[in-house]
Amino acid sequence: MTSMYFGLLMFVCAIPVLIFLYFSLYPRKWINKPRVFGVNNRPEFKTEKSSEFIDIVVYTHRKQANVIGLTLLIIAIILLFLPGFTIKMIAWSIYIYVSLFAILVPYALGNSEMKKYKKCLGIVNSKVLYADLKNAGNIHSLNVPVLIITNIFSIALVTVTALIDANIIPVELGIYNGTFICTAFISSILITNLIAMPFAFMVDNSRNNVISENSDINANYNRARKKIFADFIISLSWCINVVGVLSLLVFIFGHSEIHMVLILGFFLLLLLFSFSMFAVKKLALDKKYMTQDANLIEDDDDSWVLGIFYYNPKDKRLTIEKRVGMGWTVNIAHPVGKHITMLGILSVVGSLVLLIWIGMMATTPIKVINGNDYVICHQLWDEYRIDKNEIVSTEYGNLNELQAVRVAGTGMENVAKGTFSVSGVGKCKFFLNPMVGKYIKIVTEDRIYYISDDTLEATEALYESIK
């Protein structure tokens, strides 16, 4: 059941994002758009000869995107029917990385062709940077006190949760008492607010876009676009706080894996809905103001690598409005931007390594070796070596009668190992295959183990040999 809910959740969240990217990257009527594959749409492109060529470029890469999009949709439907939560989680994680990369490939190819054609027309990047001195530095829309209050509430909620986990506040969490799992789960949700706060300040203080020779038009446009983003951040922050409160209530009054998936689903859908509202408002704003006859063209096409990544050492700004999708990106050439980019790359590489690691765990069977002096729990390497001379007692039982929660370690359909909190016992070491349905409880002088072999027959034989 958990696996099914997770698959539906990922499908509902991933497919709308891909659809939004598709229509943002590959519009049918390019002639009325401000950019074509990330290259500023110039008057020179709209002559009869140029427009015929660009029509072919747009049609070719849109057709490629259609094939990629249809393929990704079919793969997403297939992923819904994969068995097992762990396998499905790995497959969907890889799918998200691959799909985001694949949908951008035709766009990057189109960007390269448009830059080449621009040079063929003799249009040279003049490095023009427009600035509206009348409005420089005095357009702000962020409600700073409200944003600070939302973050204070987040910190207070995490603090209260930590005090409950530490038993300082006498609230019963059942099996989760003292594990700090509740604190970790709620912190992972509320940390979004702390990440968004500095970014909100950077966007609010970013250089105003110059779209017209009329300073009043520039002021109205920049005030509106900053307010849309500020409202998005503040409303999202309060919604995330509500999710945090709901999570705490679920931990207090009843908790299961399905509850966690449902909360995660609500959180992701909330993010998707909030971003959709932001996108709709931003598109409406651009449609209203970008039709002005006095629009200016800032020639910075060469600073956009593949039309996606912004790299301009001469630009002192850290945050730049995206040309792909909605929101802002960082200037990779900025000193801070370099660190953010490196952190992003490390995060992607780290998550891929983690997926490989999880895959190895899921596909490598566990093995318990009954030696002369030790009981050795092995998977990839020796996890535990239990000295037989230190064994006080052993017990054989049904796993479905055991109430336990993972504190630190691995929890999959076929592997549960690490530190677990067992109801009525406390923290213990697990090394078992939950699909076996049985466990061997080994009590030593300083630790309690719950182990099994990879099959029921092997587990029964192991118990008979060590009991």
DSSP 8-class letter at 137:
T
pTM of the model: 0.77
CA 184 – CA 162 distance, rounded (Å): 9
pLDDT in tens, 109-159: 999 999 998 888 887 665 555 555 566 657 888 889 999 999 999 999 999
The least confident of 182-186, 224-228, 252-256, 422-426 is 252-256
pLDDT in tens, 39-87: 888 888 888 888 889 999 999 999 999 999 999 999 999 999 888 778 8
CA 384 – CA 82 distance, rounded (Å): 33
CA 246 – CA 252 distance, rounded (Å): 10
Check residue 262 and give left, alpha or beta (phi > 0: left; psi -120 to 50: alpha). Answer: alpha
- What residues are paired with 406 via a beta bridge? 420
CA 101 – CA 108 distance, rounded (Å): 10
DSSP string, 21-47: HHHHHS-S-GGGSSEETTEE--GGGGS
CA 196 – CA 154 distance, rounded (Å): 12
Rounded to 5 degrees, what are φ and ψ at 121?
-80, -5
In the three-class reduction of DSSP (H, G, I as helix; E, B as strand; rest coil), residue 14 is classed as helix
**Burial 183-205, CB ≥16 within 10 A → b, else e:** bebbbebbebbeebbebbbebbe
Q: What is the largest CA-CA distance in the chain?
A: 90
pLDDT band for 256, please (50, 70, 90 cuts): low
pLDDT in tens, 196-222: 888 888 888 877 777 777 778 878 888
Residue pair 199/192 in contact (Cβ under 8 Å)? The answer is no
In the three-class reduction of DSSP (H, G, I as helix; E, B as strand; rest coil), residue 99 is classed as helix
pLDDT in tens, 321-366: 887 777 778 889 888 889 888 988 898 888 888 888 888 888 889 9
DSSP string, 181-242: HHHHHHHHHHHHHHHHHHHHHHHHTSPPP---S-HHHHHHHHHHHHHHHHHHHHHHHHHHHH
In the three-class reduction of DSSP (H, G, I as helix; E, B as strand; rest coil), residue 353 is classed as helix
- Calculate the dihedral angle through the C-alpha atoms of 382, 387, 391, 394, rounding to the nearest 10 degrees: 30
CA 327 – CA 304 distance, rounded (Å): 16
CA 301 – CA 123 distance, rounded (Å): 11
> Of 406, 434, 450, 403, which is closest to residue 174 (Cα–Cα)?
403
pLDDT band for 294, please (50, 70, 90 cuts): very low
CA 351 – CA 339 distance, rounded (Å): 18
pLDDT band for 455, please (50, 70, 90 cuts): very high
**Length in residues, the chain:** 467
pLDDT band for 297, please (50, 70, 90 cuts): low
CA 303 – CA 222 distance, rounded (Å): 22
Both tokens of 137, joined, read 């530095």
pLDDT in tens, 407-434: 888 888 889 999 998 888 888 999 999 9
Mean confidence (pLDDT) of the chain: 85
- Beta strands 374-379; 438-444: pairing state: unpaired
Q: In this structure, which amino acid lies at residue 465?
A: S
Is the pLDDT assigned to residue 299 strictly greater than 80?
no
Residue pair 180/251 in contact (Cβ under 8 Å)? The answer is no
Helix residue ranges, H only, 254-311: 257-289
* Matching residue, tokens 């409202």: 231
